Structure 1
Amino acid sequence: MSNQQLLPLQSLPPELSETIAANLPIALAILAGYLLVFVLITHLARRGQASGLSDHIVASRGLSWLVASLTLVATVLSGVGMAGFPGTVYSVGFSFIAMILAGYAVTAPAVWYLGRRMWLVGKEHDFQTPGDLLGDYYQSDTVRLYTVISSVAFNTTYIVAQLLAGGLILMILTGGVVSFEMGVLLLAAVVAVHLITTGMRGIAYLDTFNGVLISVLLGAFGVFIISHAGGVADVFTSLGSERAGYTTAPGLTQLFTPEVILIVGILFTVGNSLIAPAAWIRMYSVDAEENFAKVAAMMVGVLTVIYIFGTSFIGIYGQTVMPDGTNPDTVSSLLAFEVMPFSLAVLFLVGVLAAIISTTDSYAHVLAATVSRDLIREFINPDISEEHELLLNKVVISLTMIAGAVGALVYPNLITPLALFVVAISVQLFTPLMGAVAWPRASTEAAIIAPAVATLLLVLFQFHVIPNPYITPLVPGILTATATNFFLFIAISYLTPPQPLSKLEEYHGLINQKL
């Protein structure tokens, strides 16, 4: 998101600015109502919080399947899902959503299959971060350091992206009373205080409420769009002669071929909903192994409904209602005021803000846990006590939010391409994870070399140092790099020895015995 892209968001259509100004007390009252619920949830989470590090990071492994599902939904959607994805459909058509849905059709079984295994070894060995699992299984500080690099890159980038979007939403909701810069700083401060005082339990409680709110609002948005258009068919026929380009593959860009829809969709959603550090830690936090089937079904069911009747309808109907040249990031907000009553449109913007808060606190939480546990404890101060590690975790949260606010205010033009790029980097940890919990032949050498080569390829493709042999949407080179990762991981594993028998028993023996 560039500085030039920020300007249209701050310069709303004159009639909308006048409407918000005339009804500002209503908008502020709805915003205040959400903030009141936010404070109440924070209070309840603090009352239920235990004092230990485990409760702060993984909620003492006690999240019910419903809470775990909704916290995954709220984290995955984010401000990007509420505003960016509808804008992408507005720009390139339904093929983008088809790609995401194809990805979740595979990601849900992966959450069931791999999530149970991650949970089982996590509980057995008291793992709390991705580095705990991979570093221990491969007995390698290098592999553990990969998880730290992935976490810092992924979470920092997405925190900045969320603060950017949150500052803009607060500015709109308050009619400019809260400036963009002040909105960014306020959001960063609120998330920091919430995280420091409640930890993972507070995230889960808030995400449960936010997940329900977001789902209901996007569903209601779809209903109002259908009513405004005159029927479901009219949402699509209103596109006129451009209908085919927006509703069929390969879409307007001609990039969304069937193989791209399937393969890139799987890589993107697996990377964002299972391998991403915040999602990974949620695999540890579920209360029982048998609940992963419910988590997977709930996640894919809710997200499918949201993406079809919310995201895709917003983007497609936006092409009919919004004039050419509209900033895609503003389509969902502008269309809300076009098709819904003012109060509901404001509530939708509050829902976007809720998604932003859910994602920001999740990413800041896991970044702090990764830096404290996998970097400082493992490489700098191995003898740190649990009490001091918890304190360090809270300090890192504060520093993370300060850095995120600075990034949002100073370097916004770097965020969008970097946000997509770091998802591709996170995907490269999929092979070591498969080896640790599902493929006993995997070797330490493979876990070190294959992800490193794939990540290097991604960098070279990104900066056009070498030609990309297979063009894909979202992230250049993600398919080529990931295929190379899988090939090298398997080949090197067969050429080098697997883990010692004792380590295989600790992981695969345990999994075979329990599952």
Structure 2
Amino acid sequence: MEVDAKIIWLFVFVALYWAYCFWGIKGALTARTASDYFVAGRQISLWVFILAATATSFSGWTFMGHPELIYRDGFQYAYASFYAIAIPFTGVMFLKRQWMLGKRFGFITPGEMMAYYFKSDTVRLLVVLVALVFSIPYLGIQLRASGFLFNVLTDGLLEVEAGMWLLSVVVIIYVASGGLRAVAYVDSAQAILLSGGIMIIGIIAINAIEGFGQFTQGLAALTAIDLETGKAAFGETTPDGYSAYVAIPGMIQYGAGLGTDSAPVGGAWTGIMILTYMFALMGIQSAPAFSMWAFGNKSPEPFAPQQVWASSAGIGFILMVFAALQGIGAHFLGADSAFMAAHPELVNPVMVEVLQKIGADDLLHSPSNPDMLVPQLVYLMSDLAPWLVGILAVCALAAMQSTGAAYMSTAGGMLTRDLIKRFIIPNASHIQQKFFGRLGVVAIVLTALVFATASNDALVLLGGLAVAYGFQMWPALIAGLIAVTLTENIGAQYMPWGRWPMTIHSAGWGIFLNLGLAILVSAVTQNADEHRHRMTFHNFLRQHAGLSASKKGLVPIAWIITITWFFFGIGPGAVIGNWIFGDPADAATWLFGIPSIWAWQLLWWVLGIFMMWFLAYKMELSTVPEEEIHALHEDIDDIQMDIDRPS
């Protein structure tokens, strides 16, 4: 049997990628202490962190899932591209301060930091729980997606489950052997592959459409409203009578909930839904793993450039433009059978040809089943440039493994430090800690693989909880986790309100309950001794991270800029963007030749970069402290912590 050229190139580039991944062996040789292994000896350098943190923030879901949902839901969902700003916004709020505390007190895990601050082991266990619930389903989704991609690109030669297990072997080896240092160096290359791959696939899509002019003509036809019925010819119609592909369905929809008889009209992505969904994605950099990234840095110097330029500007541009071209453009490449039947003159049916080649005619013929979108766009290059298929497959694999590797490493560290060392082997040596850390990595990956193999549906349900749980770390309370569970699929199916009631994401319900309880409990349970203990942290941060007197007057301006951006850019005020730059139903009125909603998103993306610059640099939330931070100890173990163990 003759082997397809693209399959040969696929395995050639995967082999080269794996060879680079074995950088982890160098990490293993240099990891002499627990601090070396779990937080890279606090020596992660500027460019390594910028690239590695970017790769960790934007996973295979950005590469594979994001364009697919833009295809299904249109530009109302494309507001999710603002997570290029929302994710590092959390970093602006917390990373510099966590680095300072880690440097000062020798924290290695966020559980140690929380336990020392609250003088409680209960909160330590809560942090480990969040880390595991975040890491296992999130990792399982990434690994299964890699198996699915390689199943498509090898024409079924590699089964999904077999590919998933095989592709996991190398990531287990380099993460378990080298710890966070190995993850950081491999993630640096993965960031370049991730961003470059998304751009190349976007270029492939617009080239197959035969130019941007053809793209906008197709977009005008796709979003037109039938004058006789007042309904959208394709997809849903919003309550205002616009196509749901180019308009969000209002600020909020009371009484609506997914999975109930009162489902949202015109799509789920109302203004409040977009805002609270961004809250969920902000959970990525407030999840416990990113605290360990903060502890691992040599200094806070890389925080601001990563948050402002690499993420907000760089990834933001890629998502706003190239991911949109992939998602919307698929309608004009044969992915949408209804549109192709109505406007054959606007469709280049190359995706139909791909499906016929791989014998899967019905996998992608309606916006309700877009799982094959990105693999098909990659497959388009099989005959023209089979070597490019190999490169793009590695880009996708790197995107999927970048986040997974970081969560494997950090979760293994938390299992070791916050469970085994705290409760089972208090005097564990550095060698023992590294050993248990490696066992933790293997256990986490195997658990994720078993979940992914046994039940993909269950994995998706758990994955929906992951980032929403991460956001509850803003005030770490169990109440928020309960609220998230009861408003996500896994719990909402048993509740009368359904998933995301009132078009508010589960992360929103969780944070509302957490903040309310935190304020109430704090008001009635003040303890003078505990207050004095906590003030040692706050006084330290005020001394080293406080604003200079000359900048105190900028605080109200910072609040105004931030609240305005969140309200109009990604919140209820974004409804203005439906029509301000032209009638969504009349392409002749589109001021910039593109739908008003897309122009609005691009405008607020630019303003979002300015907001991030103002907060990170001008307000000094992510800059290097003027005074040098002196470590009291290299490891928190050297401090006698006054924490009562649970009885």
TM-score interval, smaller chain: 0.7 to 0.9
One-letter code aligned to 1:62: Q
Q: Supply the distance in 2 between the matched residues of 1:486 and 1:233 (Cα, whole angstroms).
A: 49
Match of 1:282 in 2: 293
One-letter code aligned to 2:466: V
Residues 64, 29 of structure 1: alpha-carbon distance in 2 compared, 3 angstrom cutoff = same
Match of 2:543 in 1: 513
Match of 2:371 in 1: 329
1:500 and 2:500 are equivalent in the alignment: no
Q: Supply the distance in 1 between the matched residues of 2:486 and 2:446 (Cα, whole angstroms).
A: 32
Match of 1:440 in 2: none
Residues 67, 388 of structure 1: alpha-carbon distance in 2 compared, 3 angstrom cutoff = same
Unaligned 5+ segments in structure 2 are: 224-242, 251-264, 338-362, 546-647
Match of 1:42 in 2: 24
Residues 20, 112 of structure 1: alpha-carbon distance in 2 compared, 3 angstrom cutoff = farther
1:462 and 2:492 are equivalent in the alignment: yes
Residues 155, 400 of structure 1: alpha-carbon distance in 2 compared, 3 angstrom cutoff = same
Query: Displacement of 1:456 after TM fit?
Result: 6.0
Unaligned 5+ segments in structure 1 are: 1-17, 433-446
**Pairing partner for 2:40 from 44, 56, 59:** 59
Greater Rg, structure 1 or structure 2? 2
Residues 234, 258 of structure 1: alpha-carbon distance in 2 compared, 3 angstrom cutoff = farther
Q: Supply the distance in 2 between the matched residues of 1:312 and 1:281 (Cα, whole angstroms).
A: 33
Match of 2:566 in 1: none
Match of 1:30 in 2: 13
Q: Supply the distance in 2 between the matched residues of 1:165 and 1:423 (Cα, whole angstroms).
A: 18
**Pairing partner for 1:196 from 165, 170, 176:** 176
Match of 1:405 in 2: 449
**Pairing partner for 2:77 from 88, 96, 105:** 96
- Equivalent residue of 1:94, what SS? helix
Q: Supply the distance in 2 between the matched residues of 1:220 and 1:246 (Cα, whole angstroms).
A: 24
User: After superposition, where does 1:209-220 map in structure 2 within 5 Å?
Assistant: 209-220=189-200
Query: Displacement of 1:163 after TM fit?
Result: 1.7
Residues 409, 106 of structure 1: alpha-carbon distance in 2 compared, 3 angstrom cutoff = closer
1:72 and 2:101 are equivalent in the alignment: no
One-letter code aligned to 2:506: G
User: After superposition, where does 1:38-437 map in structure 2 within 5 Å?
Assistant: 38-39=21-22, 41-46=23-28, 49-101=30-82, 103-243=83-223, 244-250=243-249, 253-265=266-278, 267-272=279-284, 274-297=285-308, 298-321=310-333, 322-324=335-337, 326=364, 327-338=369-380, 341-432=385-476
Moved more, 340-349 or 481-490: 340-349
Could you list the per-position Cα deviations for residues 158-190 of structure 1 after superposition, in whole angstroms to 9, with x for gaps in the alignment? 121122112223334444443333222222221
Moved more, 475-484 or 287-296: 475-484
Residues 43, 384 of structure 1: alpha-carbon distance in 2 compared, 3 angstrom cutoff = closer
Q: Supply the distance in 2 between the matched residues of 1:470 and 1:169 (Cα, whole angstroms).
A: 30
Contact 1:61 1:285 survives alignment (8 Å): yes
Residues 232, 211 of structure 1: alpha-carbon distance in 2 compared, 3 angstrom cutoff = same
One-letter code aligned to 2:471: V
Indicate the percent of aligned positions where both proteins have the same amino acid: 24
Residues 452, 380 of structure 1: alpha-carbon distance in 2 compared, 3 angstrom cutoff = farther
Match of 1:441 in 2: none
Residues 395, 389 of structure 1: alpha-carbon distance in 2 compared, 3 angstrom cutoff = same
TM-score, normalised to structure 2's length? 0.68
The number of equivalent residue pairs is 477
Contact 1:450 1:486 survives alignment (8 Å): no
TM-score, normalised to structure 1's length? 0.85
Aligned residues: CA RMSD: 2.7
Contact 2:281 2:471 survives alignment (8 Å): no
Q: Supply the distance in 2 between the matched residues of 1:113 and 1:357 (Cα, whole angstroms).
A: 26
Query: Displacement of 1:118 after TM fit?
Result: 0.9
Residues 329, 465 of structure 1: alpha-carbon distance in 2 compared, 3 angstrom cutoff = same
Could you list the per-position Cα deviations for residues 32-69 of structure 1 after superposition, in whole angstroms to 9, with x for gaps in the alignment? 33233333x3355445x331111211111222233222
Contact 1:128 1:281 survives alignment (8 Å): yes
- Equivalent residue of 2:31, what SS? coil
